Structures are given as structure tokens and as C-alpha cells.
A = this chain, B = another copy of it.
Amino acid sequence: MTKTNPGRFFEDYHMGQVICHAVPRTVSGGERALYHALYPVRHALASSDEFARACGLDAAPLDDLIAFHIVFGKTVPDISLNAVANLGYAEGRWLRPVWPGDTIRSESEVIGLKQNSNGKTGVVWVRTRGLNQSGEAVMEYVRWVMVRKRDLDAPAPKTVVPELAEAVDAADLVVPNGLNFSRYDFELAGENHRWGDYEIGEKIDHVDGVTIEESEHMLATRLWQNTAKVHFDATNREDGKRLIYGGHVISMARALSFNGLANAQMMVALNAGAHANPCFSGDTVRAWSEVLDKAETATAGVGAIRLRLVATKGDSSGFGLKGEGGKYVPEVLLDLDYWALMPL
């Protein structure tokens, strides 16, 4: 009759189950300041109330990935405490900006289950939604994880593998209410390149590197109330290193991508993502991007650009990704596929 949370095992999930994740969180300028201290963040729309107002918003929203991390962090005790692997993301969309003062909570619905042939683990697909204090969805995404069974004799559930879009259709991207780039100041934004200046297939080396420290990734991961013990407990491994939360690498790479993509102001969709190799303290993270697609949106002047964002602990100027057999090369940490909004 232990009182601590052992986490859910594979047999604890069933199709259609809706899990209300614990510990809602009210955010303030404090979360933004910390985010800007943890990552070299510079996209102007999330940095300046004045810049955001000139773009038709009431004030600077919190960085899109703050919303993602908060929504994701709440799911960890229910979804991935006993996860063996975080297998993928799909159909992620930012639906509404998060502002200082908002209170965010998360809920997930089980949309797929498949026991592995070894009988010891299974894959669980969940669609997670983040909601604000008015019950409005701020973001949603599908994630699937491999989870251990507690009882190997528990019967396998009926296999349901959800059909997931390879990428969010550009027509389904949500442009925040009021967003308008007609008075966009490219000088204050930091670069002159607009949507029309990027070509599909173009690759950009973001040049800069940041060496990762234990205390920084732990500060970040705790800030999102993500409690997965592998990130905090050095006694888990002989070398005393802690496995770094994949989201830390996502945020670092996205921030580094400012240099070359300063006008890709808002992330609006998360099409796919793979944490290709683990990241540890001492690694120096660099990033490169590839333009995968472009689309106009229903809002005049607002373009959408689909980007592959790759984080590497090696050289970023060679655009290394996969080796023979399609396997990620060991230096690649992250392969993320997202849509962002940019002035046409």
C-alpha cells in the first residue's frame, strides 16, 4: 500500500482512456526570463511586447517551446515514468499563444496500443492537449512511447496503430488571432530574409555552439516539472552523468537557429521528431536546418515554412544526418520537423 506513484505500465492503458495530468501551472515573466537565460533565445516576437504589438498581438507571448515543455512535463508521471523509449511525435500544433498569467494543464487520450512480440513491453500512442485557465487548447500533439509491462502475464490488448499524418497539412496551421506582419521591422528582428528568400532544399548551418552543463539541463527540466529520474540522479550511471531531457536539446537547437532563421518567429506545428542519440553534459550542441516545404497561410502576409532542425554534437557545417542503412550518425542528437510562421 505504498503511497508513491509507481507510474503506469503497459497493461494500465486502454483505448479511449483519458488521463487528466496533475499539477496545473501558472506562468509569469519569471519562466520567460529563465528560458532566455537557459537558451540563446532571440526571436523578437517572444522577446518584446512592443515588437509583438506591432505584429498585432496584445503582448509578447511566451516562447512556443515553453508551452510545449509545460504541457509535456505534466504528462511524464502518467505516460513515460516506465517508458523504455520515446519513439516519436506527430500531428503537433500550437493552437493559441500562452501569456504570462495563464494557467496550463494537460490531458492525454490513449489512441493506440500495440504489445511487442517479446511480451515484455508495448507501444502506447497518446494525443496530448494543453489547456489554459479558460479550457481553451493551447497546443496538441501525438506522442508514442515504449512502456514496460508490470505483469508479463497480462493479456495483450487488441492492437490499434493510429494513422498519423506524415506532416501537418499547411491548411491546418493555426495563425494566432490578430497576427499581422504588415508593420514587421526586419532590422529589429535581426535579419532581412523573408519567406520568399528561402528555397525548398536549402540548408543553413547555424554556426554557433553551446556546451551543455549538468546544472543547466536540470534547471530547465525541473522548470517544466518533468520528474523523470534519469535526468537528475547521477547514481543511475557509472560515469555520474545524467541523461539530458530531449526537450533541452530541442530548445537549444531552436534558439541557435535564430542565426539564419531570425524571422521564423513562431512554431505552429510539430510534424515529427526523433531524439537520434542521447545528449550528455559536456557535449557542445550545434544546429543546422533544411527547408522542407513552404506554404502561404489564410492570413495575408504570413507565410509558413517547414523546416528540418538538426542538433548535432559534431560539426554542423557538413549537414551530417544519416549513414549507411539510414541510421542516424552518432553525432546527431535531434531530427525535428516543424512549421514556423514568417513574413511573406
Q: Which residues of A contact B (CB under 8 A)?
A: 2-5, 20, 22-34, 36-42, 44, 47-51, 59-60, 77, 100-101, 103, 105, 133, 187-191, 193, 197, 204-211, 213-216, 218-220, 222-223, 225, 227, 229, 232-235, 240, 242, 259-262, 282, 284
Contact = CB atoms under 8 A, between A and B. Distances in A.
Nearest to A232: B210
A188 B34 contact: no
28 contacts: A2-B204, A3-B191, A3-B197, A4-B204, A4-B206, A4-B207, A5-B191, A5-B259, A20-B187, A22-B187, A22-B190, A23-B42, A24-B188, A29-B29, A31-B33, A34-B34, A34-B37, A38-B219, A39-B222, A40-B222, A49-B103, A50-B103, A50-B133, A51-B103, A105-B188, A208-B232, A213-B218, A235-B284
A169 B170 CA distance: 60
Contacts of A205: 2, 4
Contacts of A262: 22
Contact of A44 (B23, B189, B209, B282): B23
B284 A48 contact: no
A27 B40 CA distance: 16
Given A23-B190, A26-B59, A216-B218, 19 more contacts: A2-B260, A4-B206, A22-B44, A22-B188, A22-B262, A26-B49, A29-B31, A30-B32, A33-B34, A36-B223, A39-B222, A40-B225, A47-B225, A49-B133, A211-B214, A211-B232, A213-B218, A215-B215, A234-B282
A33 B33 contact: yes
A133 B51 CA distance: 10
Given A25-B48, A28-B30, A38 B222 contact: yes
A26 B3 contact: no
Nearest to A226: B40
Contacts of A219: 37-38, 216
A260 B227 CA distance: 14
B3 A24 contact: no
Nearest to A187: B20
A232 B40 contact: yes
Nearest to A20: B187
A85 to B, nearest CB: 21
Nearest to A209: B233
Nearest to A26: B49
Contacts of A235: 209, 211, 284
A26 B48 contact: yes
List 6 tightest A-B contacts by C-beta distance, closest first.
A28-B29, A30-B33, A22-B190, A211-B234, A24-B48, A30-B30
A37 B220 contact: yes
A3 B193 contact: yes
Given A39-B222, A190-B77, A220-B37, A260 B22 contact: no
A220 B33 CA distance: 11
Contact of A233 (B33, B39, B240, B284): B284
A209 B227 CA distance: 10
Contacts of A284: 233-235
A41 B105 CA distance: 16
